[in-house]
Structure formats: structure tokens, C-alpha cells
A and B are shown apart, each in its own frame.
Chain A
Amino acid sequence: MVDKLSWKDLEVGNIIRAAGNASIRKTGDWRTEKPILDKEKCVKCALCWICCPDAAIKPSESGYYESDLYYCKGCGICASVCPAKAITMVAEEEQ
């Protein structure tokens, strides 16, 4: 959306007349590696959900915690904190 705006569309000082609008920006394309969850190993402890710095991990109906790849920047913290080693970081171009 932002890449369609002309200079004439911008507010004074580039103010945005709303709060919490970072969520509309796709940050998933910054990623070089993505987290892959192995549901066999996952113990549903939610540590990845707690530790994700960008709130990109969300609980699913089945009780697992899964990455929203629209936002996930691929930092790998979830894989690092997972006590069950259920999350593996895989290069974007693989799989």
C-alpha cells in the first residue's frame, strides 16, 4: 500500500493518524530463513509464542503455536528457545 503513495498523499511530518498500524506492513519478505515446526516433537509449551519479538507466532485451534509468515522476519529466537527442539530454521529457497 505504502509504495503507491505520492508525496502529496503524506501527512505533515509523515504522521499516521492511527496507532498500531505496523501490522499492515508485510515484513515476511525480509526473511532469509523460516521456522519449520515439527508437530511430532512439539510439547505445546508456548515458549516460542512468549519469546517471539514480533508477535508473529500465534496459537492455533489445535493447540500448536505456528508462525505467521506474513510478519515473521526469521530471527530464529523461537528455534533457539524451544526446549523440545521442535523448530528448525530452514533457508527460504529450500524445501
Chain B
Amino acid sequence: MPCESYNDGSGGGAMNQRVALEGSHAVAEAVRMADVDVISAYPITPQTHIPERLAEMVANGELNAAYIPVESEHSALSTCLGAAAVGARTFTATAGQGLELMHEVVYIASSMRYPVVMAVCNRALSAPLNVWGDHSDAMAVRDTGWIQVFCQNGQEAFDLTLWAFRVGEDPKVLFPVMVHLDGFTLSHVTEPVILPEQSDVDRFLPKFQYPFALDPDRPMTHGAFGPPDIYSETKLAQEVAFRKSKEVILRGWQEFGDIFHRYYRPVEEYKTENAETLLLTMGAFTETAKVVIDERKDKGEAVGLISLRLWRPFPFEEFRQSVRGAKVLIVLDRCISFGRGGPVFAEIRSALYDEEPRPKVVGLIGGLGGRDLSEEDFDYIITRGREIAEKGSDRMLETVNIR
């Protein structure tokens, strides 16, 4: 791989490599450096480059892992579950329809507490058939009990994939983690990415020690039946454990930052100080929105941006803190919950219901099925958002760049 070595100036002495990688390959590099044991995936646009690159790495001997080809996404995740049950570090990746086909197993992974890591190159859902970027697939699995994080760029795709293994496999967590990167606008865009030293990765990510690995010498039961006299208790235990995982999520980011000098937060704030109007985005479009925020700030407007990085478990505390003092909060959804509107908007408004005072929350929908959102569109989102906050809306659904 062509690269230049340089010292990152951190004083840590580590010589990192700054290379040009597309988002998908950044994920594959993280999986390689995490030294996974088992990869099972089924190719689907726009995720294809991830398993393709991993298959190459395994074939070339760059990664010592079992690469298990399967006939569907349902089988891909099932294979990962089986591998995780014996204590293997496992990875899969999918997008859109693939995630939908997996759906049944997605629930099982989290309920059986197998810390599989899955990259999801977010894609629209059929019909009509569409392979482009959209958040409908991520929203369709928001209730499945996976830790879900969104990336804004290639560096984050690398970092969060590595971090996902560290957090998911923590004995206090043992939940699967979904790393979301927007289809094409992130998965297929080549950007500079800093690759760390393997020794630092090993320091951050210890070997996976699954405490309940299936073993003939120590028989135990995984996946027992849960009739009405115990099912409710299992779900309560799962929810309590899932919410508690946030402690490790935060600690994982702290430790990541201490080693690699890039710090992540559940809610990323951009120029939010004294902002009266806040825009809320998720994923790669955040970077376009930043340009518009910069322009408006330069004109003296009290605007700022927050980006939800951690979607599940929902970071209530950090989110409420981040919008404190704002008068208007404009939420952009790249998904429609039919008959309800934007799912993120609905959750955001609900999360603020008990807050006093709280910003007026308005929602717009755009960027569906690969429809671009330009700087002009974000400009419109802010202008229209303020208008709605002030005068209300007489439209069934507020949209941007939809004819």
C-alpha cells in the first residue's frame, strides 16, 4: 500500500501511516488490525468492497482468519453467532436489503449477547429498488439491542470499527455493535486515513476472552427456551445490561483517545457555544452541514451543529446537555417512519419532553435513496426550520430537495 510515514507529533513515539483509503477499505483495515478470527459476509451494494478486501487479505495471508462464504445475509450473521459462541472474534458487513434479510438473527445476536461487529453501509430499502445512501436500514433495526454508532468520514470508519470490538467484547457489555457508514458518500469515497501501529492496536484491543465459550469439557446451555414464566425477566435483564453498556462505551472512547489521540463522544458538538439554533444530523452529511454552519457563523448568526454519533443506547444525558440553552433544534431525517414522519425527530422531541426550558424541535426529511443534500439544501433546512419553529407548519411532512 502506498503511504508516507510521519510522526503524529503526539510525543508517543508511534509512527503512524497516513494513507489514501476509501471508507470500505478503512473498515477492512481495522478488521485486519483487530486480527479477527472469523469473517462471514454476503456481498451487497454498497457494502461489497468490505468483504471483497477482507477476502483478499485472507487469501494473501495478510490476515489469519476463517473467511466463510455463505448463500445469504441470514446465514452470514448466523455463522458469526456460531463462531462467537465458541469465543471467536467475528465480523460481518451488510447494507439495506441484506440487513433486512438478516433481521431475525439481528435480534438473536443481541439477546444471546454475542459481540459480533457489523459494518452497515447504509442504503435505502426497496421498493423501488435503490442501492444508494439512506438511513432506513439503520432505523429498521434500532429496536434490536445492538450498539449503533454513525461515522462521518473514513477516519471514523476505521476508528469506530476498531473501537467496536473493544467495547462489544468487554465482559461488562457483550453486545453486538453496528458501525454505520453512509452508502457511497462514505463507503466509496477515498480520503486520507491515519493507520496506527499494530502495537498500539494490540494495546487498545486485547484478545477476546468470551467467558461462556462452548466447550465439550465444560458443557453449558446457550439459547434455552424462554416461556412466559421467564421471558419478561430475560428482556428486563437485557435492557438493564444494554443501558449500562454506555459506561464502557464512554470508557472505550476515552482509552481510544489516550492511545490514538482522537477522542469521540456520544453527541458531537460543532460550534454550539451560544447557539440559539441547532441543527442535528447523523453520518456523512454532517460534514456538508458544517460548511453551512461556518458560513452562517461568519455572518454573525447564532447557529451550531450537533451530530448524534451514538444512536443506541440513546445518550439521553449527553444529548440533553448538548442542546441546553438552544431555542430551536432542527432535526434532519434520512428516513420516513410511514404514518409518523422522521424517526430521529420523534425520538429527539420525546427525549426533551421533561426538560424545562427546552428548544422548539422541528423536523425535516431529505437525502432519501441517494438524493444529495448540498450546501444550499442545508441552508434551506436552517431557514425553513426557524420559520417552522416560529410560525408552525401547515404541511403534512416538511421535506428538503424533494419535488
Q: A1-21 CB contact bits vs B (8 Å, 1 = yes)?
A: 011011111111111111111
Residue in B220, B226, B236 whose CB lies within 8 Å of A18: B220
Interface residues of A in 7-49 (CB under 8 A from B): 7-21
Query: Chain B contact residues (Cβ within 8 angstroms of A): what range?
Result: 20 to 34
Q: Is the CB of B220 within 8 A of A5?
A: no
Min CB distance B198 to A, Å, is 31
Give every chain B residue within 8 A of A14 (Cβ-Cβ): 111-112, 224, 226, 234, 237
Interface residues of B in 209-251 (CB under 8 A from A): 211-212, 219-222, 224, 226, 229-230, 233-234, 236-237, 240-241
Q: Is the CB of B230 within 8 A of A15?
A: no
Say whether B330 faces chain A, with CB atoms less than 8 Å apart: no
Say whether B39 faces chain A, with CB atoms less than 8 Å apart: no
Residue in B111, B224, B240 whose CB lies within 8 Å of A7: B240
Residue in B111, B221, B233, B241 whose CB lies within 8 Å of A16: B221
CB nearest to B221 among chain A residues? A16
| Whole-angstrom CA separation of A5 from B234 in the bound complex | 10
Say whether B113 faces chain A, with CB atoms less than 8 Å apart: yes
| Whole-angstrom CA separation of A6 from B234 in the bound complex | 9
Say whether B88 faces chain A, with CB atoms less than 8 Å apart: no
Min CB distance B227 to A, Å, is 8
Query: Chain A contact residues (Cβ within 8 angstroms of B): what range?
Result: 10 to 19
With most chain B CB atoms within 10 A of its CB, the pick from A5, A10, A21 is A10
Q: Is the CB of A2 within 8 A of B222?
A: no
Q: Is the CB of A19 within 8 A of B220?
A: yes
Give every chain A residue within 8 A of B114 (Cβ-Cβ): 13
Q: Is the CB of B241 within 8 A of A21?
A: no
Q: Is the CB of B113 within 8 A of A12?
A: yes
CB nearest to B227 among chain A residues? A2
CB nearest to A2 among chain B residues? B230
Q: Is the CB of B226 within 8 A of A13?
A: no
Say whether B174 faces chain A, with CB atoms less than 8 Å apart: yes
| Whole-angstrom CA separation of A3 from B174 in the bound complex | 26
Give every chain A residue within 8 A of B111 (Cβ-Cβ): 13-14
Residue in A12, A17, A18, A19 whose CB lies within 8 Å of B174: A12
Q: Is the CB of B230 within 8 A of A16?
A: no
| Whole-angstrom CA separation of A15 from B44 in the bound complex | 34
| Whole-angstrom CA separation of A13 from B174 in the bound complex | 9
Q: Is the CB of B233 within 8 A of A13?
A: no
Q: Can you list the 10 inter-chain pairs with the closest CB atoms, starting with the nearest?
A: A13-B113, A19-B219, A16-B221, A7-B236, A7-B237, A7-B233, A3-B229, A13-B112, A10-B237, A15-B212
**What are 21 pairs between A and B in contact, CB < 8 Å?**
A2-B229, A5-B230, A5-B233, A7-B233, A7-B234, A8-B237, A10-B234, A11-B212, A12-B212, A12-B241, A13-B112, A13-B174, A13-B222, A14-B111, A15-B212, A15-B222, A17-B221, A19-B220, A19-B221, A20-B219, A21-B221
New A-B pairs, 14, CB < 8 Å, besides A5-B233, A7-B240:
A7-B236, A9-B233, A12-B174, A12-B212, A13-B114, A13-B174, A13-B222, A14-B226, A15-B220, A17-B220, A18-B220, A18-B221, A19-B219, A20-B219
